[in-house]
Each structure stands twice: as C-alpha cells, then as structure tokens.
Amino acid sequence: MADLLLLSRWLGAVPEFVTGRGGARIGFIPTASSIYPDRAWVDLDRRTLREQGFTVTDIELEILSASETAAALDDVDAVFVSGGNVFHLLSVLRRTGVDRLLTDRVHAGMLYLGASAGACVVGADIEPLGLLDDPTEAPDLTSTTGLGWIDEVIVPHADGIVSGRAVVDELRIRYGSRFTLRMLADDQALLVSGSERSVISS
C-alpha cells in the first residue's frame, strides 16, 4: 500500500505529506457532500489547499465517465477526498467503479488524502459511522464494507466537537468489540506508509 493521510477535520498535516513526496497538483473529489445544499466545509478545504500552495482541480465523480475520471487522475500527483456522508460516498464509488480505480492507483503509488468521510471510506467497514452519518442517504448501498486499504474503522471528530461526546461514546460502546476503531480528534490524522501507521497532529 502506498502513502495515505487520513484526516479527521483540519488540514495542517497536508503540506509536509504532499510536498515531501514531490507533489503539487491535487485532484479534489467533493462527492461525499454532493447531497447537501450547504457545503461550506468543502469550500473551506478547497480554499485551504490552495492557500497551502497546491494546484487544486475538482474531479466530479457523478458527472465524469470512468475514462474521464481516469484521465483526470493522470494529471494530478495526489487525490483528496473530502468529507460529507460516507455512505453516499461509498455508494458512488461502487456505482462508478472508482472504488477499483482508486485502489489500483493508490497501490501503484498515488498519494491519497481523505478528510472525515474521505478517510472513513478506506477502512474495513463503515457500519459504525451510521451514528455520525445518515445511512438512508445512500438507499442503493447494499454493503457497508469499506475499501479495505486498512483493517481499522476510522472514527473522525472523536473529540466530540462536531457530533457531541455522547454519540462518540455510544459508537465506542456499541462497536468497539466488533471492529478495531481508530479514534481521531479533529486536530489529528492517521499517517499510513506501507505497514507503518502513526497518529500525527494536523
């Protein structure tokens, strides 16, 4: 597996991760938020990446064909998958075949950055995230099995600032015995490099 930066909320760890590996061009996938009228957090992420000095190009999975998505990925050094509803995101990735495309690209060395839902989708399963996101937003999703790039379940916003401590505690109690949960506060990220994993500030 290539390098992954799995962010809970803030993007402070991005510059060292991307530029430290020779990248400057980021393909931005906003799909997880496409079902919402207000996508202020996505606009903030896009703006933050540009302010950090990156060239950012949107890749709209629900508009582009598979070949157009593949071509768009050919033109960037890294892909950033933003937050929103992880169930909707996984549904679109499967329906478009981009789940396999991204898996192949990441295994071949493309840098992957995921924030919130974009981080959660690469894990073993997204079922526990049903306490944070509404699964009914993805009525066609038949399996909550994630992309499986890591064998953990990423739980973003684990400090409770976004969703509240009670929900995070309930998630841990209900699912902690069934899944390996990786709890990330908003100012943390999980850095994955091959078989090595470390929680870093972001």
CA 83 to chain centre: 6
Q: Cα–Cα distance between 85 and 132 in angstroms, integer?
A: 9
* pLDDT for position 176: 96
157 tagged catalytic:
yes
116 tagged catalytic:
yes
Residues 32 and 80 sit within 8 Å (Cβ to Cβ) = no
Q: Cα–Cα distance between 1 and 163 in angstroms, integer?
A: 31
Residues 6+ apart with CB under 8 A from 164: none
One digit per residue, the tens of pLDDT, for the chain of length 202 reads 579 999 999 999 999 999 888 789 999 999 999 999 988 999 999 999 999 999 999 999 999 998 999 999 999 999 999 999 999 999 999 999 999 999 999 999 999 999 999 999 999 999 999 999 999 999 999 999 999 999 999 999 999 888 889 999 999 999 999 999 999 999 999 999 988 999 999 9
Residues 65 and 97 sit within 8 Å (Cβ to Cβ) = no
Full-model pTM: 0.95
* pLDDT for position 20: 80
Q: Cα–Cα distance between 97 and 92 in angstroms, integer?
A: 8
The interaxial angle of helices 86-96 and 98-107, nearest 10 deg, is 90
Residues 120 and 169 sit within 8 Å (Cβ to Cβ) = no
* pLDDT for position 130: 97
DSSP code string of 34-68:
TT-S--HHHHHHHHHHHHTT-EEEE--TTTS-HHH
- Catalytic pick from 116, 143, 198, 201? 116
Structure tokens at 155: 């739980």
- Catalytic pick from 33, 82, 157, 202? 157
* pLDDT for position 1: 53
If one counts every other C-beta atom within 10 angstroms of the C-beta of residue 21, the result is 14
Complete domains list, the chain, with CATH: 3-197 (3.40.50.880)
Q: Cα–Cα distance between 110 and 119 in angstroms, integer?
A: 15
